Every structure is written in structure tokens, then in C-alpha cells.
Structure 1
Amino acid sequence: MDVVDRWTGQAASQLQDALRMTNQAFADRLGVNLRTVATWHSRPGIVPRTEIQAALDTMLERADASVRLRFRDGLRPATAVTAQALRVAIAVVQRDREVLLVCRRGDESISWQFPAGMVKPGRSPAVVAVEETHAETGVRCTVRQHLGSRVHPLTGVVAEYALADYLMGEAENRDPIENAEVVWVPIDQLTKFIPSDRIFPPILEALA
């Protein structure tokens, strides 16, 4: 029986290829966010959390012999599904002189980010930004303007940034698996949570 001592993003992506599954199908089977699977592709050295390690173990154990062979040999045949081009909608939600942040759970660390969600084909980034903000934090907002886009330097996905105005709702952590905390942060203290060199410059300009 194939055994993985410690799963990494690379090993998880290799299992996905062996199963010939899309990012969405793989995420659904594991019960994780699509964003998590995208991160494994862009950061192959990342180590998934303990519960995800166990889920990957189970998926490999239940796979048939052909899947295990492809996984073990590291084969990436032309017919296998490769990483999809992914887009993420990122919401910069402003309330007076505060901005909304979520604290993402990592493998061995946590990091502060703006609310975000994957943009599926045919969907509007602005709509996704609003919907994901509410789903993650309970806050309702409306997009004021599109701030631009870039290939994110950490994840490698195309990030679409939207400046949004707060409408209503109490900030709360509605996704405790992915997030550790949700808070409103004074704009003049934003760089204490996210280093300025990691913030898309138009965000700082818009909030100034």
C-alpha cells in the first residue's frame, strides 16, 4: 500500500493528476475550498493541515491500482487534467476609516488578507467579491470601483481587486476552517497587519 509520510502541495497535486480530476472536483471530494487546491499548485512546498493530510491519506487508500500507479510514478500524461487558469476576486471593504480583514489559517502559520473568492467562468468578479465577503464575514457591501488586476506574487493566480463600501452586518467568522478571525482594522494601521510591499499599490492609493 502506498503511504505518504507528509503531504505537500506537490504531492496533493500529483494525486489530483493521478485521479484525473479538475480543481473543483478535487476540492469537492476533499471537502476543501477551491482556493486551497489552487494554492497547492502555486506553492508546491506548502504542507496541508492535519485534517486535510488525513483526508488525502483516505483518498489515496481508496484509489484503484491504476491511480496509485500513476501517483507513485509521478506520471503526468497528456490526458490528465492540469492546473486551471484561476481568477480570484478580492474585496477591499471600507467602513468610515476602517477596512475589513480576515485571518487565514495556513499550514503552520496564519496571515491577514482581504476577503476573497474564486471566480468561476462566466461570473463577474464584482459579484463574487460581494458574495464571498458576506459568506466569509457576514458583512454586506457594494462595489464602488474596480481597482485593477495582477498575477498575485504569492499564489500565482489572477487577482481582481474591488473597492467596496460597507452596507450592513456584524463582522463574524463564518468560515472557521479557512479563517481564524475577522476584524475591522483602522486604515492607518493596515500595514501592521499586511506588509505594505504585499499590498496592491492601488489599494493604498484608494484608501489614502
Structure 2
Amino acid sequence: MEVIDTWTGELACHLQAAHRMNREEFADRLGVHPQTVAGWHSRPGIVPRPEIQAALDTVYEKAPPPVLLRFTRLVRPPVDASAVQALRVAIAIVVRQAEVLLVQRRDGGALHWQFPAGVVKPGADSEVVAVQETRAETGVHCTVRQPLGSRLHPTTGVQADYLLCDHLMGEASNLDQAENAEVAWVPITSLTRFISPDRIYRPVLDALGVAA
């Protein structure tokens, strides 16, 4: 995730587009009037007030990986495949006996189930991020049992590291309601009812003993 030193109207509009929100939805997320957002579209060089800069920072920092990738492409379109792969995420496959932990992510107007995940910033460790993001999103404490591999995600285009984790303590709670609609432990045998098997990394299915 790159650091935005100063938000301009143009960058704010790119963030809106990356979230796939209309003017009113984006204004509501930021806590501003829709006319403010309209002003950014008509005057892309404008620099928002400090309190709005802070609100934009918060929305940007809480954005899920697909939104961050779209934002990066809008701000600086990739010229080669290596630019697309610059964003890395850690995905936690947290197991509690015969259950696995899932979050229902908000992506624009859509909802979809996935494993807890977080962006791995330069210099950070995927295993640490997986544990920290799981606790921050769900309140569940876990530990990494083993890495399951890495791939260029076929849907988001980000580099994804998969970590098989064991539950230590904590019940599942939705601690990030801006990004997630729901958090749940689901039976491993029912996993493919929540996530289509063709969207799940094959080593994850193998580790969980789920037939594709």
C-alpha cells in the first residue's frame, strides 16, 4: 500500500471509483456532503480540508485488497505484469476442530464470503499479518500451523500467501463492520456452499480435506 501524502480531488475520485460507489455512497462513507464529492469531479486539482484528508486516509487504509489494486491501477496504470503483482495479501485459513473461519466482505454493492485477509506492507511478514488481521477483523486469536503456498489470485490479480492457522481463543465477532457484513465459523464440510470451489486455492482444499 503506497502512502498518499496529500489527497487531491482527482485522487479522491479515483478512490471513489475503486470502491465502485456512487457520489452519495462515497460522501456518506466519508461523512461529507455529496456536493463536496461533486466538486472534486469538476475541480480535480483541489486539495480537501485537513479533516477530509484524514477521512480519506481512513477509507483508503481500510480498503480491501481488490479496491487497493483498482486504486493503484487508476492512479498509476501498470506497464507490465510485475506492477500488477506489487500488492501482496496474507490469507488466514483458521481452523477450530471441524470448522473454518469466514468473513462476508462488502465489495461495492456486493457481498461475498472469503477467508480473513490483510495487505502485507513492504518489509512485513505474511504470517504476522495473517494473525494480526484475523484478530483485528474477527477478535479470534490464532497461530500459523504452516504455509500452504502462494499464487497470483485469479480474481483480484494480487499476490496471495495462504497460511493454515489453528484457533487459540476468542469467539468470532464482526469488528470491522465498514468492510464486513458478517463473520462466522462454518463447518468445513459446508465450505463450498459459501465459497465456490473453483475460487479456492487447491492446497487449501487439500489441507482441509475438502473435495473439489
Do Structure 1 and Structure 2 share a fold, with TM-score over 0.5?
A: yes
Structure 2 segments unaligned to the other structure (5+ residues): 9-14, 47-73, 78-82
Aligned partners of 2:199 and 2:44: how far apart in 1? 43
Aligned partner of 2:166 in structure 1 is 165
Give, in angstroms, the shift of residue 23 of structure 1: 4.3
Give yes or no for contact 2:153–2:160 (8 Å, CA) kept in 1: yes
Give, in angstroms, the shift of residue 67 of structure 1: 2.3
Letter in 2 for 1:48: M
Aligned to 2:92, the other structure's residue is in SS state strand
Write the mapping of 1:1-208 to structure 2, written as runs, cut at 5 A: 23-25=2-4, 40=18, 47-48=20-21, 50-52=24-26, 55=30, 58=36, 61=39, 67=45, 82=76, 85-208=86-209
Question: Runs of at least 4 residues of structure 1 off by over 3 A?
Answer: 53-60, 62-66
Aligned to 1:25, the other structure's residue is in SS state coil
Aligned partners of 1:159 and 1:174: how far apart in 2? 23
Q: Classify 1:145/1:176 alpha carbon distance in 2 versus 1 (closer, same or farther; 3 Å).
A: same
Identity percentage of aligned residues: 52
Aligned partners of 1:29 and 1:90: how far apart in 2? 30
Letter in 2 for 1:25: I
Aligned partners of 2:40 and 2:197: how far apart in 1? 45
- Cα deviation digits, residues 1-24 of structure 1 (max 9, x gap): xxxxxxxxxxxxxxxxxxxxx744
Give, in angstroms, the shift of residue 53 of structure 1: 5.2
Query: What is the number of residues matched between the two proteins?
Result: 163
Give yes or no for contact 2:27–2:37 (8 Å, CA) kept in 1: no
- What is the TM-score normalised by the length of structure 2? 0.67
- What is the TM-score normalised by the length of structure 1? 0.69
Give, in angstroms, the shift of residue 107 of structure 1: 1.8
**Two-structure CA RMSD over aligned residues (Å):** 3.0
